[in-house]
Amino acid sequence: MDVDDEAHARVAWEPAEIAAVAVLSMFSVLVLGGLATGIAADTAGPQPPGIHLAAEAAASGADWASPVLAAILFGVLGLCWWQFQGWSEVGHSPGASDEIDQSDEVFEAMGHLRRSQTFTVWAQVALVLTALGSVAGFVGGIVNQDIAGSSVLLWSRDFGAGGSMLGTLVLGGAGLLIGQRLRSQYKPAVDEPER
């Protein structure tokens, strides 16, 4: 971390940034819990490992990957966009009276924009992992039901699980597109002006 990065790290945290960190931390805890659940399901029990055990581990380990979580992560991208809109204009208004104050404002804006840029990348990664987890959970559930037998009650649950997976994929794809657009706007905004 160079001197500028350290200085930007000292910029005060705004509520939107704290919310983004909280959501991304919650996501990490859910993923780690799901991973532990999947490993425990795969290694528990006296039966030898097989396709049924792996499918059960995938299905139970991916319970966290849902459209609700994807929507919350999508909201983090909204917060990033809001932060970008608010801070990208700071210091670019002509006619600022005090050069030192304007320079400090621009410096503060760069700190917030760099944080927002980081949160955008992590929100996109989280959306991709949520989409992959949703697919793994759906496939694991299908394999489990095929092994268990094909009653109407069992395969009718596939519709709900499939809809949940598709909803998660839609939000994940839209989040990736929005995040890419936002990330392309950060570069010119974050290029540090001369102090």
Q: What is the pLDDT of residues 121-145, one digit of tens each?
A: 999 999 999 999 999 989 888 887 7
The answer to pTM > 0.85 is no
Domain membership flag for residue 64: yes
User: Residue 80 in contact with residue 20, Cβ under 8 Å?
Assistant: yes
Classify residue 48 by its DSSP letter.
P
How much is the pLDDT for 161? 84
Q: How far apart are CA 78 and CA 143, in angstroms?
A: 36
User: Residue 91 in contact with residue 111, Cβ under 8 Å?
Assistant: no
Token pair belonging to 148: 């268990």
Q: How far apart are CA 96 and CA 29, in angstroms?
A: 45
pLDDT digits (tens, 9 = 90+) for 149-166: 555 555 667 788 889 999
Q: What angle do CA 112, 9, 127 make, to 5 degrees?
A: 60
Token pair belonging to 156: 């009718």
How much is the pLDDT for 95? 47
Domain membership flag for residue 147: yes
> How many CA atoms, within 13 angstroms, populate the side-chain half-sphere of residue 20?
26
How much is the pLDDT for 126? 96
Interacting residues of 84 by C-beta distance below 8 A, sequence separation 6+: 113, 116, 182, 185, 186, 189
Domain membership flag for residue 143: yes
How much is the pLDDT for 179? 92
What band does 46 get if pLDDT is binned at 50, 70 and 90?
Answer: low
Domain membership flag for residue 195: no
Q: What residue numbers bound the domain in which 83 lies?
A: 3-190
- pLDDT of residue 74 exceeding 50, the answer is yes
- pLDDT of residue 7 exceeding 80, the answer is no
How much is the pLDDT for 194? 44
pLDDT digits (tens, 9 = 90+) for 57-67: 888 888 899 99
Domain membership flag for residue 109: yes
Domain membership flag for residue 120: yes
Q: How far apart are CA 195 and CA 192, in angstroms?
A: 9
More confident: 61 or 181: 181
The amino acid sitting at 31 is V
Domain membership flag for residue 10: yes
Tally the domains of the chain.
Answer: 1
pLDDT digits (tens, 9 = 90+) for 94-104: 444 445 456 77
Domain membership flag for residue 133: yes
Q: What is the mean pLDDT of residues 106-113?
A: 87
More confident: 102 or 78: 78
